[in-house]
């Protein structure tokens, strides 16, 4: 049985996922050659790490153990994770620490804004842990962060990757009304697998959230992502694509699920780069403005370049 310890170790080391401790171990599969990435060592990577540490901010890049960190951080593209490093959900795919989070840090929005300015980001992605413990799910804090970025880095475009605000009334509207340039909420997997992969979430609630964004503010780009390799069928993935298009989703990302530890959901299989290319072709034919599908695609991977393409695709569509 593997024990999950805080990756930072030391005397404060503690279980990252207490709810998973009693689970049976699942085997870790050897990754295929197209998944392997180099250890991050570049100067840009180290500079980004220092900026994040100095500002006492958290990134999903580190907390989720993202394989693209070397590439992204070399270009100073870090995805900041607000509202702490502890999530109130217990998804079986995610390596973010779970448990009862600390109180919100009222100074965090200012530090996020200043950090975005310092990094010189043309396009920034902000995500968060789930905060089911807060009456508004953290909606007002998200808005404070968006405003702080607008103040400190007015030229940066803003993409938010939000929780689902399940059972939080109209809290999502507060975030939509902050008018981020891109509103991203990941469906993550097909509905049949929700109970085992995203047990605290509801597929149709997440889908409806994306639809609500479009209804409330059609000018906002909507974006959603899927992990594959969890045991879903091709037909199920295509059904999710159709559901997303019905909800008006503009941009779809599809990437390979990677198992963080033996206590997390097992990889069912590694899809080949050709299979990702086939998904991309199918999704484009269904009318998404933009599709990114590759083994290492993640929600925020190449988000800046993709945003430019998204805008260009909309302009081209409007011109037709
Ligand atoms: S893909 Fe996203 S989460 Fe991963 S390192 Fe890049 S910015 Fe961070």
Which residue(s) pair with 256 in the sheet?
A: 228
Q: In angstroms, what is the span from residue 66 Cα to ligand 1's centroid? A: 6
Give the residue, by CA position, lying nearest to ligand 1 atom 5. 69
Per-run averaged pLDDT (10 residues), the chain, 320 residues = 38 67 87 90 95 97 94 95 96 94 98 97 97 98 98 98 98 98 98 97 98 98 98 98 98 97 95 98 98 97 96 94
Around ligand 1, the residues with Cβ closer than 6 Å are 60-61, 66, 68-69, 72, 77, 79, 298, 300-301
Residue 301 alpha carbon, nearest atom of ligand 1: 1
Question: What pLDDT score was predicted for residue 188?
Answer: 98
Question: What pLDDT score was predicted for residue 73?
Answer: 96
Q: Specify the pTM.
A: 0.94
| Whole-angstrom distance, CA of residue 174 vs CA of residue 194 | 27
Residue 299 alpha carbon, nearest atom of ligand 1: 2
Question: What pLDDT score was predicted for residue 5?
Answer: 40
Q: In angstroms, what is the span from residue 320 Cα to ligand 1's centroid? A: 34
Q: In angstroms, what is the span from residue 298 Cα to ligand 1's centroid? A: 7
Give the residue, by CA position, lying nearest to ligand 1 atom 8. 61
* Residue among 71, 115, 292, 301 whose CB has most ligand 1 atoms within 8 A, to mutate: 301
Question: What pLDDT score was predicted for residue 8?
Answer: 39
């Amino acid at each position: 049985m593997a024990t999950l310890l805080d990756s930072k170790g030391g005397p404060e080391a503690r279980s990252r996922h207490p709810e998973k401790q009693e689970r049976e171990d699942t085997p870790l599969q050897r990754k295929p050659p197209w998944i392997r990435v180099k250890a991050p060592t570049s100067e840009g990577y180290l500079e980004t790490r220092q900026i994040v540490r100095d500002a006492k901010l958290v990134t999903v890049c580190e907390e989720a153990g993202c394989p693209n960190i070397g590439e992204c951080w070399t270009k100073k593209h870090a995805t900041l994770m607000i509202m702490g490093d502890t999530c109130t959900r217990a998804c079986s795919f995610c390596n973010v620490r779970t448990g009862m989070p600390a109180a919100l840090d009222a100074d965090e929005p200012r530090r996020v804004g200043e950090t975005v300015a310092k990094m010189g980001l043309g396009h920034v992605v902000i995500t968060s842990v789930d905060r089911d413990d807060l009456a508004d799910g953290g909606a007002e804090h998200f808005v404070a962060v968006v405003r702080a970025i607008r103040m400190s880095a007015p030229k940066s475009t803003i993409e938010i990757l939000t929780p689902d605000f399940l059972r939080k009334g109209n809290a999502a509207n507060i975030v939509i009304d902050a008018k981020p340039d891109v509103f991203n909420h990941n469906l993550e997997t097909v509905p049949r697998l929700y109970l085992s992969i995203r047990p605290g979430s509801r597929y149709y609630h997440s889908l409806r959230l994306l639809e609500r964004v479009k209804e409330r503010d059609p000018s906002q780009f909507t974006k959603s992502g899927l992990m594959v390799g969890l045991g879903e069928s091709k037909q199920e993935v295509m059904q999710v694509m159709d559901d997303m298009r019905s909800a008006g989703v503009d941009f779809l990302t599809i990437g390979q699920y990677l198992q963080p530890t033996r206590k997390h959901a097992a990889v069912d299989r590694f899809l080949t780069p050709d299979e990702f290319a086939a998904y991309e072709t199918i999704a484009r034919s269904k009318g998404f403005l933009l599709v990114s599908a590759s083994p290492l695609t993640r929600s925020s991977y190449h988000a800046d370049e993709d945003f430019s393409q998204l805008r260009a695709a909309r302009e081209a569509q409007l011109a037709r």
